[in-house]
Chain A
Amino acid sequence: MRSNRMGWALLAPTLVILAVVGFLPFFYVLYVSLFDWNPFSNQLGMQWAGVNNFRRLVFDGAFLDSLWRTGLFAFTSVTIELALGFLLAQTLVNSFPGRTIFRTIYVLPLVMAPIAVGATWRLLTIPGFGPIPYYLDRWFGIDFRLATYADQAFITVILMDVWHWTPFVTLTLLAGLTAMPKEPLEQAQVDGANRWQVFRYLTIPMMMPVLLTVIFIRLMDALRIVDEVFMLTSGGPGTATQFIGIHIYRVVVPKTDYGYGSAMSLLVLYFTIVLCWLLFIALAQVGKQRE
């Protein structure tokens, strides 16, 4: 127990892999972000640019729009997932006949590849043979055209994300609810607290660590969403669903603007880290109050 060498030895493989495959590329991106580097510009090779890429970025309307759009998307979808997930988790806490079957079915989207989720939703919504536009038109007279109407596309992308990830939220919250001590709740009921009060003053505070953990994970992933949306709308119509992941993809890959794209992704990483760090600190604070 005294010697730390053994501890470090056990930790070492993890740290080595993360350093080599994780941090090495990060430093490379950091390095590239300080250069102008686009194989298709008039000047070949890397040209030193200092912080010019970042200077351009803070004035880049398309980038800022995309950032804002991503934030809106992540906020909306994570909120819906949390609310829905909490509701569903509560219905699953108590055992009832058929619970296992429902739960099994409900977990299906969780195992699907994001790219397959995108493909599935594309098949659902594609005008011409998708059932959603067909029945919406037939039953409600709604002209549903994902690739034409920006708001429809945005809503569909959120619905797709909710469909894909609410099961995860539900199950995590369910695990938390299942593990929650029962006496305080019973005590409160004896004391005459109504359901809302129990929920507001007991369940929520007790669930806080789990809630924050879920928000942390979902927010982190929602902010870097690419595959599903790319498959469903490829960022369109126009730029209506061009979230930051897709925006960066377009800059780095088809446009081959390596330097600018690297700067862009670092900036996004910066925002994500700050946001997640705040959540992390909140999580740690909750832990302290508990002790």
Chain B
Amino acid sequence: MLKRKLTVVLGILVLFSMVLSACAPAALPAAQPAAPAVEGEASWWRTAAQTAGCEGVTLRGISESTPPSRYAADVLAKAFEAETGIKIELEATSWDEMYTKAINDMQAATGIYDFVYIEQDIIYQYLANNYLTNLTQLLADNPELASPDFDFAKFTTFIDNFKDAEGNIYGVPMEAFLKVYLYRKDLFSDPAIQEAFKAQYGYDLAPATTHAQYRDIAEFFTQYGRDNGLDLWGTTVQGNTGHASSFYEFFESIAPTFGVYNWGINMDNWKATVENGGEMNSDKAKEALAFWVDMLNYAPPEATASTWDEVAASFAAGRAAQGWVYGENAAWIATDPDRSRVVGNVGVALPPVAEGVMEDAESGVGYIGYYDGGAFGLPVSSKNQLCTLLWLQYIGQESVQADWAIAGSRIVMESTYDDPKVQEVDAKVDGYYTLMKEAGPLFRGAPPFPFHAALREVVQPYIWKALSGELTPAEALDQAAAAADAELVNLGYGQ
């Protein structure tokens, strides 16, 4: 009895797995549509692919599973394959996993990936380790493979993030956006609310330009939500107490608006504590952290569990009146009714700043927020350098940018701003793209630290503890700065 049943179960499973294994290899090519033959005379891309001997080659890349990456995988990769016969396999995965795998591959020089996503903040680590191929040099060495449609000069200044000291470029930008101040236009323009606000605080309700105003608005709407039985709070906080995103929100978005730049690290001697010339535990930084932690009182309860994803989701669900939100989300929050309850009610503005910060930003000393984004780079370990070069140029053409910008709210080229399709979306998102074009220079990416991730891991637990109330903001920053100093010495900086 038992034996027979067992035989049946085993038999079914064996059969099943055999059938499946038989199917598996066949399933692979079926997933991709066959490349249609290029009609007419061979395109430049086809000729170049032949010259480089790349036809039939498969290029493998890894990226974060973001809308721009998925557009690259679903649309651009298919088009590129049809045009050149080079197949692209783009692995889109979570942010944490992407780094693990890309770094493992490049560190061990195994050559699995032919192109990797490089976020603006990690590039300095990669450069210090010589992981990446110098694209300027590679193009110069292979003029026959340099597409006439591709030019580094066409990109926005964001490409400067991917340059070394000599100005050589190591990545082709594929996404870029600002972390902006979003607010609910429907609430801010409601006359009854405006009146109540004025009565309570004595000035007109408008998008906050100072931290005091921001706090007032947050407090007001939290109370308003409570009084009216609404699921509405005053602000979002990207305050996950176990994820790097809260570290980034504080040091890249909040602290700069208080005038603490570069994570409060003195870049001359690589020190963080005030005693050693740093600013991480300066009064300004402590004020910034205290402000931000205080905002948790006016944020929806999920704030301490929110990463960048959940902040956008909370705002899209209409649970917050204002907040710092990554710009890549602006387009879908403002336009996609399947995912957002605040379609058409999203206002975009510059974040509030402390006195003197705007002047710093304009003169280039400081910045008012985070200009984030990434590029595709070519690892030195790749075995298909020239073929990958073609792919990187392909995604860097002006002609593919506009649709890509609409699919992923990202802009990497000056000319994309003027595209009619982009301008149409711009109107719907309260001028986010215009803001990005005009105010972009006021924002900046992460400081050029070659020890970026290593230091973040040491500092972030203190930020988490401040958010969960285990430490006061002042204690947290004092301890964080001391730990940062120790770790920097350990890593060989600022002996």
Interface pair B241/A236, CB less than 8 Å apart: yes
Contact of B492 among A43, A128, A145, A241 (CB under 8 A): A43
Asked if A102 is at the interface of the complex by the 8 Å CB criterion, the answer is no
Task: Look across to chain A and name the residue whose beta carbon is closest to the beta carbon of B461.
Answer: A239
By secondary structure, the A interface counts as loop
Interface string of A232-264 (1 = CB under 8 A from B): 011111111110000000110111110000000
- Residues of chain B within 8 A (CB-CB) of A234 are 240, 242-243
Tell me the chain B residues, 293-323 only, with Cβ under 8 Å from chain A.
Answer: 300-302, 304-305, 314, 319
Closest Cβ–Cβ distance, residue A211 to chain B (whole Å)? 27
Task: Look across to chain B and name the residue whose beta carbon is closest to the beta carbon of A234.
Answer: B242
Task: Kindly name the residue among A39, A149, A242 whose own CB sees the greatest number of chain B CB atoms within 10 A.
Answer: A39
Tell me the chain A residues, 24-52 only, with Cβ under 8 Å from chain B.
Answer: 38-44
Task: Kindly name the residue among A39, A238, A239, A253 whose own CB sees the greatest number of chain B CB atoms within 10 A.
Answer: A238
Interface string of B474-495 (1 = CB under 8 A from A): 0000000000000000111100
Interface pair A148/B241, CB less than 8 Å apart: yes
- Residues of chain B within 8 A (CB-CB) of A176 are none
A128-B319 CB under 8 A given contacts A147-B468, A236-B464, A238-B470: yes
Interface pair A42/B125, CB less than 8 Å apart: no
Interface pair B302/A127, CB less than 8 Å apart: yes
Interface string of B142-181 (1 = CB under 8 A from A): 0000000000000000000000000000000000000000
Contact of A238 among B301, B302, B465 (CB under 8 A): B465
| A to B contact number (C-beta, < 8 Å) | 111
Closest Cβ–Cβ distance, residue B297 to chain A (whole Å)? 11
- Residues of chain B within 8 A (CB-CB) of A127 are 300-302, 304-305
Asked if B454 is at the interface of the complex by the 8 Å CB criterion, the answer is yes
A42-B491 CB under 8 A given contacts A128-B302, A234-B240, A253-B100: yes
Tell me the chain B residues, 81-107 only, with Cβ under 8 Å from chain A.
Answer: 96, 99-100, 103, 107
A148-B469 CB under 8 A given contacts A128-B314, A239-B464, A254-B244: yes
Task: Kindly name the residue among A44, A128, A150 whose own CB sees the greatest number of chain B CB atoms within 10 A.
Answer: A128
Asked if A114 is at the interface of the complex by the 8 Å CB criterion, the answer is no
- Residues of chain A within 8 A (CB-CB) of B96 are 253-254
Contact of A40 among B240, B302, B452 (CB under 8 A): B452
Give chain A's interface residue range (CB within 8 Å of chain B).
Answer: 35 or more
Q: Tell me the bound Cα distance from A126 to B307 in angstroms.
A: 13
Asked if B413 is at the interface of the complex by the 8 Å CB criterion, the answer is no
Could you tell me how many residues of chain B have their Cβ less than 8 Å away from some Cβ of chain A?
Answer: 39
- Residues of chain A within 8 A (CB-CB) of B457 are 250-251, 254-255
Interface pair A39/B103, CB less than 8 Å apart: yes
Tell me the chain B residues, 415-451 only, with Cβ under 8 Å from chain A.
Answer: 450-451
Task: Look across to chain B and name the residue whose beta carbon is closest to the beta carbon of A258.
Answer: B107
- Residues of chain B within 8 A (CB-CB) of A126 are 302, 305
Asked if A219 is at the interface of the complex by the 8 Å CB criterion, the answer is no
Tell me the chain A residues, 248-291 only, with Cβ under 8 Å from chain B.
Answer: 250-251, 253-257
Interface pair B452/A236, CB less than 8 Å apart: no
Q: Tell me the bound Cα distance from A242 to B100 in angstroms.
A: 19
Q: Tell me the bound Cα distance from A38 to B453 in angstroms.
A: 11
Interface pair A255/B241, CB less than 8 Å apart: no
- Residues of chain B within 8 A (CB-CB) of A256 are 103, 107, 453-454
Contact of B301 among A133, A242, A253 (CB under 8 A): A133
Interface pair A238/B464, CB less than 8 Å apart: yes
Tell me the chain A residues, 119-155 only, with Cβ under 8 Å from chain B.
Answer: 126-128, 133, 145-150
Q: Tell me the bound Cα distance from A133 to B453 in angstroms.
A: 34
Interface pair B470/A41, CB less than 8 Å apart: no
- Residues of chain A within 8 A (CB-CB) of B450 are 40
Closest Cβ–Cβ distance, residue B265 to chain A (whole Å)? 15
Asked if B118 is at the interface of the complex by the 8 Å CB criterion, the answer is no
A145-B461 CB under 8 A given contacts A38-B491, A237-B467: no
A40-B491 CB under 8 A given contacts A254-B99, A256-B453: yes
Task: Look across to chain B and name the residue whose beta carbon is closest to the beta carbon of A122.
Answer: B305
- Residues of chain A within 8 A (CB-CB) of B269 are none
Interface pair B240/A128, CB less than 8 Å apart: no
A146-B129 CB under 8 A given contacts A42-B493, A236-B464: no
Task: Look across to chain A and name the residue whose beta carbon is closest to the beta carbon of B246.
Answer: A236
Asked if B206 is at the interface of the complex by the 8 Å CB criterion, the answer is no
Task: Look across to chain B and name the residue whose beta carbon is closest to the beta carbon of A257.
Answer: B454
Q: Tell me the bound Cα distance from A233 to B241 in angstroms.
A: 8
Tell me the chain A residues, 89-140 only, with Cβ under 8 Å from chain B.
Answer: 126-128, 133
Contact of B305 among A38, A39, A147, A239 (CB under 8 A): A147
Task: Look across to chain B and name the residue whose beta carbon is closest to the beta carbon of A41.
Answer: B491
Asked if B128 is at the interface of the complex by the 8 Å CB criterion, the answer is yes
Closest Cβ–Cβ distance, residue B469 to chain A (whole Å)? 7
Interface pair A237/B468, CB less than 8 Å apart: yes
Q: Tell me the bound Cα distance from A256 to B107 in angstroms.
A: 10
Question: Could you show 8 A-B contacts with beta carbons less than 8 Å apart?
Answer: A39-B125, A40-B129, A41-B491, A62-B461, A126-B305, A238-B468, A239-B461, A253-B100
Enumerate the 7 nearest inter-chain pairs by beta-carbon distance, A residue then B residue, closest first: A236-B242, A42-B492, A234-B242, A127-B301, A237-B468, A237-B241, A147-B304
Interface residues, chain B, CB within 8 Å of chain A?
96, 99-100, 103, 107, 125, 128-129, 240-244, 300-302, 304-305, 314, 319, 450-454, 456-458, 461, 464-465, 467-470, 490-493
Interface residues, chain A, CB within 8 Å of chain B?
38-44, 62, 126-128, 133, 145-150, 233-242, 250-251, 253-257
Not counting A41-B454, A237-B467, A238-B241, a sample of 16 additional A-B residue pairs whose C-beta atoms are within 8 angstroms of each other reads A38-B491, A40-B128, A40-B129, A40-B450, A62-B461, A126-B302, A127-B301, A128-B300, A128-B319, A237-B464, A239-B464, A253-B99, A254-B99, A254-B100, A254-B457, A256-B107
